[in-house]
Amino acid sequence: MRNKRMFMLMLGVVLLVAVIGYSLSDRKILTYPEQFVRDAASVAQGWFYSATAAVTGVARDVVNLKSLHEEAEQLRRTVAVYTRDKVHYNYVELENQRLQKLLNFTEEQRNRFNYDYVVAQVVAIGNDANNRTLTINLGTKHGVETDMAVITVDGLVGIISAVSAFSSTVTPITELAEESPTVNAIAVSAFGKEQESFGILSSYNPETQRLLITRISEGDQIAEGDLIITSGKGAMYPRGLVVGEVEDLRLGDYGLTYNATVKMKAKMDGLHEVMVVIPPKSVAQEEAADPVEADTDGALAP
């Protein structure tokens, strides 16, 4: 009797290790049962989350009523700056297009940074302390894929870690860890010094609630108070997404490079709406995707 229990426990441990090993591998597409369970759960979670958010939202609005005037004032100032910058931007954009045409840029090169920003609703927040996740209500049917960046108006929130047809899971950048086999480091640089600064956003320290940038070279222009944005140099994540502000710059472990501590801009709690940054498809991807898309369209039409 006891032996049987022991045997079952061992079997359970073996199964656990096997499942962990399988799920740790770099899986781009989930199996159909998984997708079905996730989509079904996300629909129900969506109802509950939006209902709760509506109620708590009203309560928060009442509390925030006082600061409304101040906020409006601040926004008015921002709009003034924005209109001025917009005029300047239009000139620069036109000039840039003219030069790109002169230099015979291909269509792909020209559209490389024309990102699509798709608004998604958060439907659930994970209840595992070591594996913080957000579930959003967009999936492969809406063009979302793994490793896309997710932002709020304040800045970068996380990276899509798993996708099913109508929902996907976001792993926040607070899950970044130096030696983690499941999250990738993000290439970053400082705003206004994009060509002169470069670092690797490699980990998040939950104890101090700060992000860490490593491998900053000695002659780097990066300084305290700089706004940190993604550089797009890894070609994996889009460029120009706000990450945070440099708080502290010090010599790294081996004395060869510098490390910077960064305070995150995006707020993690009470998230309701986020945006998925969808990069333009490369020519090779489009050719590969087209026949499949035509097929599914045909199948969907009754």
Partner 1 sequence: MSISRVIVALLLLFLAETSVMPLILPMPDRVIPHFVFVLILFSGMHRSRHSALLLGVGFGMLQDIVQYGHLMGPASFFMGLMGYLSGVMLEKKQVSAFTAVSVVLFACLLYDAGVFAIYKGFRITDASFEWAFFHHMVPSLLLQLLFAIISYRLAKRLLERQHKPSGEIDEE
Rounded CA-CA distance 113/158 in Å is: 19
Which residues does 53 contact at the CB level (< 8 Å), separation at least 6?
272
CB of 51 to partner 1, least distance (A): 8
For 124-139, b/e burial (b = at least 16 CB within 10 A) is: beeeeeeebbbbbbbb
Candidate segments 85-93, 147-155, 167-175, 290-298, binder of partner 1 by CB under 8 A: 167-175
Smaller CB separation from partner 1, 192 or 270: 270
Cα 250 → chain centroid: 27
Task: Kindly write out the interface string for residues 191-230 of this chain, putting x where it contacts partner 1 by CB under 8 A and - elsewhere.
Answer: ------------x-xxx-----------------------
The answer to whether residues 228 and 244 touch, using CB atoms and an 8 Å cutoff, is yes
From 30, 148, 190, 274, residue interacting with partner 1 (rule: CB under 8 A): 30
| Terminal Cα distance for the chain, rounded | 57
Helix, strand and coil in the chain, % to nearest 5: 40, 25, 35
Smaller CB separation from partner 1, 253 or 297: 253
Signed CA dihedral, 12, 16, 18, 19: sign only: positive
Task: Kindly write out the interface string for residues 106-145 of this chain, putting x where it contacts partner 1 by CB under 8 A and - elsewhere.
Answer: -----------------xxxxxxxxxxx-x----------
Q: Which residues bind partner 1 (CB under 8 A)?
A: 9, 12-13, 15-16, 19-20, 22-24, 30, 34, 37-38, 41-42, 44-46, 48-49, 52-53, 56, 123-133, 135, 161-162, 169, 171, 175, 177-183, 203, 205-207, 268-270
